[in-house]
Amino acid sequence: MAAPFSWIRPEPHGVHIVPADVWIDPSRAVDTALVTHGHADHARGGHGTTVATPETLAIMELRYATREGATPVEYGETIRLKGGVDATYIPAGHVLGSAQILLEHAGERVVITGDYKRRADPTCPPFQVTSCDIFITEATFGLPLFTHPPIEDEMAKLLGRLEAHPDSCVLVGAYALGKAQRVIAELRAAGHKQPIYLHGAMEKMCRLYEEFGVDLGELRLVSDHEKDDMRGSIVVCPPSALNDRWSRRLPDPITAMASGWMRVRQRARQRNVELPLVISDHADWNELTRTIEEVNPHETWITHGREEALLRWHQLHQRRARALALVGYEDEDD
Amino acid sequence: MEKFAALIDALIYTRSRNEKLRLIAEYLRETPDPDRGWALAALTDGLDFKAVKSSTIRGLLKERVDPVLWSLSRDFVGDTAETAALLWPEALGEAGPPPTVSEAVNTLDGMTRATVMTELPRLLDRLDSAGRYALLKLATGGMRVGVSSRLAKVAFAQAFDVPVDDVEEYWHALEPPYADLFAWGAEGADPPDTENLPLFRPFMLAHPLEETVVDLADYAAEWKWDGIRVQLVHVAGETRVYSRSGDDISATFPEMVDALDVPAVLDGELLVRGAHQGGEAGGAASFNALQQRLGRKTVSKKMLSESPAFVRLYDVLMLEGEDLRSLPWEARRRRLEKLVPVLPESHFDLSQLVEARDFDHLAQIREGARNDAIEGLMLKRRDSQYVPGRKTGLWYKWKRDPLLIDCVLMYAQRGSGKRSSFYSDYTFGCWDGDPDEGAELLPVGKAYSGFTDAELKKLDKLVRQTTLNRFGPVREVERTLVFEVAFDSVHSSKRHKSGLAMRFPRIHRIRWDKPVHEADRLTALRALIRD
């Protein structure tokens, strides 16, 4: 009999499930990939077969303009892979379609989270705690200084600023997949009924969310409107457009950014942000550590982020952990 | 404290100078005394609390947070006060209402090394994260909100509609919380009595000459000396030495305090004597020699005798109670020339004018300057009044061209503040022989300026991709990149393994194209020593 867990092997370019010869979120093209969610650093194109939720597959199709090899799996559904490996997709609460993947083989259970959060999000079902032997987690915000405030507080900050500057607009930089739609949905939940203006790069993803039943209210494109139409409005764009020439067409924009990194003042200053909104689609420090306690695995593997601090936490709490040093996962804009 | 904390945060996130001015002015108008005075002092780093240092904060936090997690967090944030404000555990139960700024200042001021570890936590417990940040920044200085003391003075002038030059002048006469300044500005009281106070007068500064060519009929040339610019003030039996920023550095140079007993305000370059470091015989030594004396609060007898200071005079602002600043430079110069013989020769001399036939001749003289205490030339309009700050066309500085050498990037360290996430401080080295024969690189200097933000991003990426070793915040990298480094001079140094220390090194160009074995050898750098 093989050594325990020898069937699952972390390699620099992804986690390899040896008997099934499939890869989880590989950063280069492979024959068969199991993809946790649609962010580009996890969902690369060019795989022979891509196994993911229908939402994630739709996002990938939007991005790579092909459905070739797309194999949908619903939340809660288990598929049998080669070599006696079962894979079950479980909500991760990160973005539309995001999933943790439970892998079972020879009586051993491994959960790989992809990216996840524990806060409620009107655009996707919540994270489910799943017991396992090995818990493979992210650690994007794995430092104790990261505690995300309630999103209601951040919405109040945003709407308060808008009210105080009725002749300007507030330009919110937000990741085009997930963060942007969550911010819009939370604005609607906070009672903001006005049209919200979008950078062109946001439009298709918002429409895709709407097709999957997420209500975003009235959305307009910046390019279809005059400067004066947008006074007193919220405009959403990708973070890269915040300080771009593009924003010159806006009426006296106040630059905001929705990101967990905004917790650190100098980070916000580096991006020339005037209104930092601490909104993240990742678990904060308390949520990371609480999740590990709830899942209570035999061992934790850490894929990416601030792994040193989370390793230290495991040491302080007499838990087993290792860092995988995977390459290619980026987190700067979240 | 909440209003002050809100001001600090608003200033951090505001880019526009006008908006910063508006925010400060509004705060100064709406906040009562003495809170606004303390706040103004905090913004301009005018407060100092003996018992509260960065190390105190580290100590407090390490009692509450695992030391490893603290260090990792501090390294990520790049700022001790902010890290502490974020990591401070929220108080359990009733901690009391937030303190006012004056209560915080008085409590901080009353702390001793024995009590700070119990009293500072009590203050922190009464504040939220933003309040803790403001308090810790107020306590330890270094606000980093992009507010210079000049900007704060302009804001004061705007808030109360008074002339900024008056604010600048009275400011230095007063101690925080500046009750008399506010009484004058806000309440229309008489201006503070400054006649018998040893006040700092704002310096007149120069623009770089760059491509400008001037007519020597209109401009006089004099050497620009490589020391520190100082202002000496003697009034009513008291002498002060002020640095360029208006800091009182009298305690660092007690011999200069003793040397001046004529009622005057003088502008000059502070230097130390010694021919041993490339200076003139019996005259000024290089900046390297002066460096040993900077930043000391007390000075040993040995230091006073080995590196005695003197001031080479450039200008006279006031004499025997008469304000000369509105006279043309030529008239002030004549007064200065008459004054110098009256002053003790051991501690004062006159900065000599440089005579040249024309501008080209002057350029030749500048090229030929071999004295290491010379930083370049100054060009002063003969009819220029002494006006604060940099006014176009009056004074120019024309520095010597920097020296250049090709070095190899060896280590990188994360910056702080705005650059806290970037590897922005670079240590570089030269070869100790022929690299093809197995020579090694020895570090020769460190630089953190001279590149654009876009280049910084590229450099940061390179550091992350080519890391060989990590030592805390420092990374050792593969030897792949050549920097063309500019520097003002190079000296022998026992502190460095290479035996060399550069003065003011900065990245001149990044030689992405140049193979590392073509970088310079130590012998090339050593040849540039002028000691």
Identify how many contiguous H helices and E strands chain B contains and give both numbers: 19, 21
Are residue B24 and residue B95 in the same domain, yes or no? yes
- Among the partner residues A145, A273, A306, nearest to B13 by beta-carbon distance: A273
Q: Which residue on chain A is closest to B419 by alpha carbon?
A: A270
CB contact under 8 A, A144 and B69: yes
Lowest model confidence (mean pLDDT) among A70-84, A218-232, B149-163:
B149-163
Instruction: For chain A, say whether B86 makes contact (Cβ under 8 Å).
Output: yes
Best residue in A266, A302, A311, A312 for a mutation probing chain B (most B CBs within 10 Å): A266
Q: Print the domain residue range for B494.
A: 403-526
CB contact under 8 A, A309 and B15: no
Question: Does any domain span residue B384?
Answer: yes
CA B116 from chain centre, in angstroms, equals 29
Task: Give the torsion sign (CA, B94, B95, B101, B103).
Answer: positive
- Angle made by CA atoms A310, A313, A319, in degrees to the nearest 5: 105
Q: Last residue of a domain, which of B366, B399, B432?
A: B399
Instruction: For chain B, say whether A328 makes contact (Cβ under 8 Å).
Output: no
Q: Last residue of a domain, which of B362, B384, B399?
A: B399
- Among the partner residues B65, B66, B420, nearest to A266 by beta-carbon distance: B420
Question: Does any domain span residue B192?
Answer: no
Domain count for chain B, please give it: 3
Alpha carbon distance B57, B141 (integer Å) = 13
Helix (H) or strand (E) holding A105: strand A99-105
Are residue B393 and residue B419 in the same domain, yes or no? no
Alpha carbon distance A279, B211 (integer Å) = 50
Instruction: Looking at the complex, report in whole angstroms how far the Cα of residue B33 sits from the nearest Cα belonging to chain A.
Output: 28
pLDDT bin (cut points 50, 70, 90) of residue A320 is very high
Alpha carbon distance A42, A20 (integer Å) = 20
CATH of domain A151-277: 3.40.50
CB contact under 8 A, B15 and A274: yes
Are residue B359 and residue B437 in the same domain, yes or no? no
CB contact under 8 A, A265 and B82: yes
Alpha carbon distance B190, B95 (integer Å) = 43
Instruction: For chain B, say whether A269 makes contact (Cβ under 8 Å).
Output: yes
- Among the partner residues B15, B66, B82, nearest to A272 by beta-carbon distance: B15
Asked if residues A301 and A138 have their Cβ atoms less than 8 Å apart, the reply is: no
Question: Does any domain span residue B176?
Answer: no
Instruction: Looking at the complex, report in whole angstroms how far the Cα of residue B82 sits from the nearest Cα belonging to chain A.
Output: 8
Question: Does any domain span residue B23?
Answer: yes
Structure tokens that stand for B250 in this block: 């009298």
- The three state secondary structure string of B250-288 is HHHCHHHHHHCCCCEEEEEEEEEECCCCCCCCCCECCHH
CA B52 from chain centre, in angstroms, equals 22
Are residue B350 and residue B429 in the same domain, yes or no? no
- Among the partner residues A263, A267, A309, nearest to B69 by beta-carbon distance: A309
Residue spans in chain A of domains classed CATH 3.40.50:
151-277
Structure tokens that stand for B159 in this block: 């808030």
State residue A263's pLDDT score: 95
DSSP 8-state class, residue B238? E
Structure tokens that stand for B234 in this block: 């003697």
Instruction: For chain A, say whether B324 makes contact (Cβ under 8 Å).
Output: no
Are residue B419 and residue B333 in the same domain, yes or no? no
CB contact under 8 A, B418 and A266: yes
Alpha carbon distance A129, A113 (integer Å) = 10
- Domain CATH code at residue B451: 2.40.50.140
B274: left (phi over 0), alpha (psi -120 to 50) or beta: left
Are residue B239 and residue B285 in the same domain, yes or no? yes
3-state helix, strand, coil in chain A (%, to 5): 30, 25, 45
State residue B437's pLDDT score: 81
Alpha carbon distance B277, B290 (integer Å) = 10
CB contact under 8 A, A312 and B15: no
Tokens 């020296």 found at: B403
- Among the partner residues B12, B14, B83, nearest to A145 by beta-carbon distance: B83
State residue A230's pLDDT score: 97
Q: Is A86 helix (H, G, I), strand (E, B) or coil?
A: strand
- Angle made by CA atoms B513, B518, B520, in degrees to the nearest 5: 120
Backbone φ and ψ for B367, nearest 5 degrees, come out as: -60, -40
Are residue B506 and residue B407 in the same domain, yes or no? yes
DSSP 8-state class, residue B400? P
* Topology of the domain covering A8-145+282-323: Metallo-beta-lactamase; Chain A (3.60.15)
**Chain A residues close to B82, C-beta within 8 Å:** 264-266
Best residue in A143, A257, A318 for a mutation probing chain B (most B CBs within 10 Å): A143
Task: Tell me the mean pLDDT in the region A174-203.
Answer: 97
Are residue B29 and residue B95 in the same domain, yes or no? yes
Alpha carbon distance B179, B193 (integer Å) = 13
Instruction: Looking at the complex, report in whole angstroms how far the Cα of residue B104 sits from the nearest Cα belonging to chain A.
Output: 23
Strands B403-414 and B389-390: unpaired
DSSP 8-state class, residue A79? E
Q: What percent of chain A has pLDDT over 70?
A: 97
Question: DSSP for B166-194?
Answer: HHHHHHTT--TT-HHHHHHHHH-PPPP--
Asked if residues B189 and B182 have their Cβ atoms less than 8 Å apart, the reply is: no
Per-residue pLDDT of chain B (531 residues; tens, 9 = 90+): 999 999 999 999 988 888 999 999 999 999 999 999 999 999 987 788 999 999 999 999 999 999 999 999 998 998 899 999 999 998 888 889 999 999 999 999 999 999 999 999 999 999 999 999 999 999 998 787 878 878 899 999 999 999 988 898 788 778 899 999 999 999 999 988 777 788 888 899 999 888 889 999 999 999 998 889 999 999 988 999 999 877 789 999 999 999 999 999 999 999 988 754 445 655 677 666 787 788 777 888 888 888 899 999 999 999 998 999 999 999 999 999 999 999 999 999 999 999 999 999 999 998 877 676 788 899 999 999 999 888 889 999 998 888 889 999 999 998 876 677 789 999 999 999 888 888 889 999 999 888 888 889 899 989 988 888 887 778 999 898 999 999 988 888 877 788 888 888 999 889 887 888 889 999 989 888 865
Are residue B135 and residue B224 in the same domain, yes or no? no
Question: Does any domain span residue B190?
Answer: no
Question: Does any domain span residue B216?
Answer: yes
State residue B278's pLDDT score: 46
- Among the partner residues B13, B65, B417, nearest to A268 by beta-carbon distance: B13
Alpha carbon distance A268, B449 (integer Å) = 22
Alpha carbon distance A121, B347 (integer Å) = 73
Are residue B381 and residue B515 in the same domain, yes or no? no
End-to-end CA distance of chain A: 43
Q: Which residue on chain A is closest to B133 by alpha carbon?
A: A265
Instruction: For chain A, say whether B82 makes contact (Cβ under 8 Å).
Output: yes
CB environment B272-299: b (16+ within 10 A), e (fewer)? bbbeebbbeeebbbbbbbbeebeeeeeb
Structure tokens that stand for B108 in this block: 């901080």
Tokens 């919220």 found at: A234
Q: Last residue of a domain, which of B100, B120, B140?
A: B140
Are residue B520 and residue B483 in the same domain, yes or no? yes
Backbone φ and ψ for A292, nearest 5 degrees, come out as: -65, -40
Task: Give the torsion sign (CA, A281, A284, A286, A288).
Answer: positive
CB contact under 8 A, B69 and A276: no
Alpha carbon distance A21, A26 (integer Å) = 12
Alpha carbon distance B344, A74 (integer Å) = 92
Backbone φ and ψ for B5, nearest 5 degrees, come out as: -60, -40
Are residue B226 and residue B323 in the same domain, yes or no? yes
